[in-house]
Every structure is written in C-alpha cells, then in structure tokens.
Chain A
C-alpha cells in the first residue's frame, strides 16, 4: 500500500534559519504529492503540490521538488519566520479511488 515517511520532530530553528523537512514515499503508479500546514487548533491548509516528476511546488517562500528517482518530496525554505511555526504534513494521492495518504507530521518551532 501507499505510505509517507516524514522526519520526526519537533524541529526547532532560529528565525532566518534554513529549513528542510524530509519526506519520502512509497506508492503504486504516479502519485501527486502535497505539503499541508496545520496551525494550532485548526484544520489543514494546502501549502504546495506537485503532480509529476521534476515538478517544483512553491508557495510563501516554501519549495518542494518531486523526485521520482529518490521517491522524495522534501520541503525547504530559505529563511523561516516565527509565523511559520506549525505542523507540516507530507501527503500523496494515487490509486483507483484517489485516497490521500498522510505522513505523521513534523512540528516546526521557530524562535526569535
């Protein structure tokens, strides 16, 4: 079956530091890949997505590239802010009924 593996958190960074959150996946076929963000007490919001190999998704300074050869979709940001503190979920969507499979989430804490 499909699965998503994310690096365990929490990740604590100083403001303006470089962020990488690793994500690898196992899936049949050619899945679409997503990063979602969840702020405390809220639902998930789509951060970015990529639908085919070598696509780069980007939004709000975050980027992730769909790497089929390494089955990875790592999230990066060049300079994090305190407002980026949240839980980040990597996810994929494939299969006949298009179920979305989520990773366990990585909590990011950015300190001033």
Chain B
C-alpha cells in the first residue's frame, strides 16, 4: 500500500541533544513538507522540498534542519538550538507543485518530548 511513514511515533530527548525524525513516502511524490503542531495553533510549516537536493525554509525553520538526498525520504533534525521543541511533528507529501488542486498526504506524526 502506498503511503507516508513517520518514525518513531513517540520520541524523548534530553535538553541539549539533537534528534532526527524520519519520514519516508512511497507515493512517488516530488514535494515533501514538515509541519509542527501545537495546541491551539494549528499547523506551522518548518521546511519544504519540491525536488531532490533542494529545500526551502518555511515559517518557523530556526532550530531545525533537513536533507533531501532521495525522493522518498525527508528527515528532520531538531537541533539543540530549538528553544521549545516539545510538539507533534507531521510530515506530508504531494505531487509536483504545479497541481494546485493536489492534496497533501500526511504521516501519522511523531510526538517529541524534551525531558
């Protein structure tokens, strides 16, 4: 079955540590996205990538980094510079950006907690 997989579902991190969240898709989508979800604030875009080896900052990129070495993979690293990293992180993908009506497909999310 085609889909988008995030792992792990729950992640705990000590303050000052970097941590990497995995996102893999087998939908053959060109575009991939990372969102952060906090209670009462909806989804905020962290980074997005329209094509392999290219990515752009979203609205809240500070303290995060990404890579896009393969079409199917878009890992997100939460660095120690991120001041408030505890949140629910959602990865999404969609077909090429030229399709305005194309919806985004979401993974099941990773809940990161800093302890």
Residues of A participating in the B interface, judged by any CB pair closer than 8 Å: 30-32, 34, 36, 41-46, 49, 51, 89, 93-94, 97-100, 102-105
Contact status A94-B103, CB under 8 Å? no
Q: CB of B56 within 8 A of chain A?
A: yes
Name the residue on A nearest B101 (C-beta): A51
Distance between Cα atoms of A56 and B102 in the complex (Å)? 16
Are A43 and B108 closer than 8 Å at their CB atoms? yes
Chain B interfacial positions (CB closer than 8 Å to A): 6, 31, 33, 35, 40-43, 45, 48, 50, 56, 58, 90, 92, 94, 97-109, 111
Measured between beta carbons, the chain B residues less than 8 angstroms from A45 are 106
Cβ–Cβ contact A89 & B103, under 8 A: no
A-B contact pairs, 20 of them (CB 8 A): A30-B100, A42-B108, A42-B109, A43-B90, A43-B106, A43-B109, A44-B43, A44-B92, A45-B106, A46-B105, A49-B101, A51-B100, A94-B100, A97-B56, A98-B99, A98-B100, A100-B33, A102-B35, A102-B43, A104-B40
Closest residue to A51 on the B side, CB-wise? B101
Q: Chain B residues near A42 (CB, 8 Å)? A: 108-109
Taking A42-B109, A99-B58 as known contacts, 9 extra A-B pairs with beta carbons closer than 8 A to each other, sorted by chain A number, are A36-B106, A41-B111, A43-B108, A44-B92, A97-B50, A98-B94, A98-B100, A98-B102, A105-B42
